[in-house]
Amino acid sequence: MIQQILAGAALGISLAAPPGPVIAVMATAATRGRSRESILTALGAISADAMWLSLVTLGFLAYLRDHPKAVGVLGLGGAALLFWMAWLGWKAARAGNYESNLRGSFRLGFLTVLTSPFSFAWWMGNGALLIATWGPPGVAGMFVALIAYAFLFTVAFAWLGKKFEHTAVVIAYVSVVMLAGFGVHIAMESARLLRG
């Protein structure tokens, strides 16, 4: 159970850390002294992820639980998406895309994740495999890590101020490695389900 929680937490951190629209808004708000705005944006994004999780869980209970090969096919798509996200994260880290002109809010974070094709594809490809492989402990670990990361990210970037860029690059590269690692893991799990 502890292993499932830790695996879910690591996956959550790897997904939260890469440069993207929500992280850019959070980083900009935090470094400019608007910590509340940063946290509300993150909580909106996490709430949208919870909504995607609910939809995937319904699909898993209704159909996918009894069709492990379908979960395997979705998982292969999810692994490909993780590799794609790692590639995009690597490119963004090299370019240093961490600034945003948008004001953050719960609604902005929520709608950004809810309407993102990446979020839809990630949950369709990886959500069912996450539920099937790590179950509720992994899902709980993931969401606890997302919330903890949002608070720690905001505090750290508020403290760093304008010196945040170097730290953001390091975090982005670590996240790229983690995303690629989870891509390998999910591809292997998916292949196992397809063979079974």
Please give the Cα distance from 23 to 51 (Å, whole number): 19
Q: Residue 39: what pLDDT?
A: 96
Q: Residue 50: what pLDDT?
A: 93
Closest CA to 150 of 2, 8, 22: 22
Q: Give DSSP secondary structure letters for 5-18.
A: HHHHHHHHHHHHSS
Contacts of 109 (CB under 8 A, 6+ apart): 22, 25, 40, 41, 42, 43, 44, 45, 46, 47, 48
Q: Residue 27: what pLDDT?
A: 82
Please give the Cα distance from 52 to 13 (Å, whole number): 17
| Amino acid at residue number 60 | F
Q: Residue 104: what pLDDT?
A: 87
Please give the Cα distance from 135 to 141 (Å, whole number): 10
Q: Check pLDDT > 60 for residue 97.
A: no
Main-chain dihedrals φ then ψ at residue 159, nearest 5 degrees? -70, -40
Q: Check pLDDT > 80 for residue 161.
A: no
- Tell me what the pLDDT averaged over the chain comes to: 82
> What are the distances in angstroms from CA 158 to CA 96, 98, 115, 163?
18, 14, 28, 10
Higher pLDDT, 40 or 10: 40
| Domain-wise residue ranges, the chain | 2-195
Contacts of 68 (CB under 8 A, 6+ apart): 132, 193, 196
What average pLDDT does this structure show over 167-192?
Answer: 78
Please give the Cα distance from 145 to 11 (Å, whole number): 9
Question: 39-78, pLDDT tens digit by residue?
Answer: 999 999 999 999 998 988 887 767 767 878 887 887 788 7
Q: Check pLDDT > 60 for residue 156.
A: yes
Tokens of 43: 């909580």
